[in-house]
Amino acid sequence: MTDLVIRNVRPLGKAATDIAVAGGRIAAMGTNLPANGALVEDGGGALLLPGLIEAHTHLDKTLLGMDWVENVVASDIRSKIDNEREMKGVLGLDPALQSARQVVMSIARGTTAIRSHVDIDTTYGLAGLEDVAATRERYADVIDLQIVAFPQSGMMIRKGTVELMDEALRQGADIVGGLDPCAIDFDPKGHLDVVFDLAVRHGKPIDIHLHEPGELGLFTFGMILERTRAHGLAGKVTVSHAFSLGMNDYLRVGRLLDEIAGAGVMLMSTGPAGVSVPPLIRALDAGIAFCSGTDGMRDLWNPYGNADMLQRAQILADRNNLSRDTEVERALDVCTFGGAAVMGLPDYGLEVGDFADLVLVEGRTLTEAVVTLPQRKLVVKRGRVVARDGEALVEAA
């Protein structure tokens, strides 16, 4: 039985077609599909994209909807970490409500799956995890949400954190996080051995924040690659940020990109300003699965961000100096298919049989949509309309 028919849309900018949805999946594509009593939406010739994928954010600590907090923190990572851990308590930040607010904003902008890191530390324990897990359950019908247990304050330098990470993975965290094994934890072997041991014991993937610059970053990369191969974790390990890949010798980075591809390690970049970034096109050409995300938004680290993954494609393209339409399309692909690959989302795409996670936007071409950032006309999750004309049909409060 057909549940929904969307008429006159152009999948990824191709020829206009209708699309029929049944049981949460794309059931048919073609012209003049019969409605059979199903809900009918007029696409009006809009572009049809698969759901946008937010593959790296921090839902537990956005300040969205709260009073404005003046940012007076120093710009180094350690200061930001310590300031945030303290201020979360001072402000009475509620991760359940805050994560709900960001989820609703993401849905309005066409995101259908999110991977969120959630702080695990000896001050707040597993409170953030429990709250974001409640949000995951609350919105299970309208968004896929993966939770990374993230030792934001360090792991080896804060006694008790390893045990909390272990407990977080038992209690529903989907992925093992890590953070700057040298620069924050001062113990790369200890840190990475724990991360990979947790992953193997719990049978869960890994996603490591690696801000470490230059030679230090490459050193840590080597240790991550070695452990990924040794544990047979190809396709299960993501390195987020990976600034060092933008800072080193061209030929050396090229060899490392080949090694990363060979080990099945995946990359995430938000395309940030003010720091070198991994070269997007070279990484894609090497065959590396590559995703992107908003990262922390409107939080105690920085006041920016709007959870818009179409805009993220633009930022990524701009940051990588991409101007040819075919290259801009690859940046968009990172925010759709790339994210789905890294998150391991099954049956993702615009083929018959795929889940009906769909976004309609105005634009003559995909590149025009990335440039003009049109409102999301319609957002569909598993066949259900969840946002219309830029507004989510679910609430946060």
Shortest distance in whole angstroms from residue 109 CB to Zn ion: 19
> CB under 8 Å to 197, separation ≥6 — which residues?
none
Measured distance between the N- and C-terminal CA atoms of the chain, rounded to whole angstroms? 34
Q: Which is nearer to Zn ion, 220 or 367 (CB)?
A: 220
Query: Judged by CB, which is closer to Zn ion: 2, or 57?
Result: 57
Q: 222: which 2 tokens?
A: 């080597």
Q: How far is the CB of 58 from Zn ion (least distance, A)?
A: 6
Q: Classify the phi-psi angles of 198: left when phi > 0, otherwise alpha if psi is within -120 to 50, otherwise beta.
A: alpha
The answer to whether the beta carbons of residues 205 and 266 sit under 8 Å apart is no
- Residue 46 or 208 with smaller CB distance to Zn ion: 208
Shortest distance in whole angstroms from residue 296 CB to Zn ion? 6
Contact between 342 and 113 under an 8 Å Cβ cutoff? The reply is no
Sign of the four-CA dihedral 207, 337, 242, 316:
negative
Q: Which is nearer to Zn ion, 228 or 240 (CB)?
A: 240
Binding pattern for the stretch 281-300 against Zn ion, x by CB under 5 A and - elsewhere = --------------x-----
Q: Of the two residues 295 and 357, which places its CB atom closer to Zn ion in the complex?
A: 295
Query: 390: how many CB neighbours lie within 10 A of its CB?
Result: 13
| Coil, strand or helix at 385 | strand
Asked if 142 contacts 381 with a C-beta cutoff of 8 angstroms, the reply is yes
Considering only residues 293 to 332 of the shown chain, the ones binding Zn ion according to CB under 5 A are 295
Total residues contacting Zn ion (rule CB under 5 A)?
Answer: 1
CA dist list (Å): 358 to 8, 66, 152, 298, 382: 14, 31, 33, 27, 8
Which residues ranging from 156 to 175 are in contact with Zn ion (CB under 5 A)?
Answer: none
Closer of 119 and 166 to Zn ion (Cβ): 119
* Residues 6 or more apart in contact with residue 96 via CB below 8 angstroms: 131, 132, 134, 135
Q: What would the two tokens of residue 245 be? A: 């890949």
Q: Which is nearer to Zn ion, 84 or 295 (CB)?
A: 295
To the nearest whole angstrom, how small is the minimum distance from the Cβ of residue 77 to Zn ion? Answer: 11
Shortest distance (Å) from residue 303 CB to Zn ion: 16
Q: How far apart are CA 26 and CA 20, in angstroms?
A: 6
* Residue 312 CB, nearest approach to Zn ion (Å): 13
User: Nearer to Zn ion by C-beta: 3 or 295?
Assistant: 295
Yes or no: say if 114 and 340 are a contact pair by the CB < 8 Å rule.
no
**Least separation, in Å, of the C-beta of 205 and Zn ion?**
16
Closest-approach residue to Zn ion (CB):
295
What are 247's two structure tokens?
Answer: 């800072």
Confirm or reject binding of residue 119 to Zn ion (CB under 5 A).
no
Least spacing, CB of residue 152 vs Zn ion, in Å: 9
Interface residues toward Zn ion, by CB under 5 A: 295
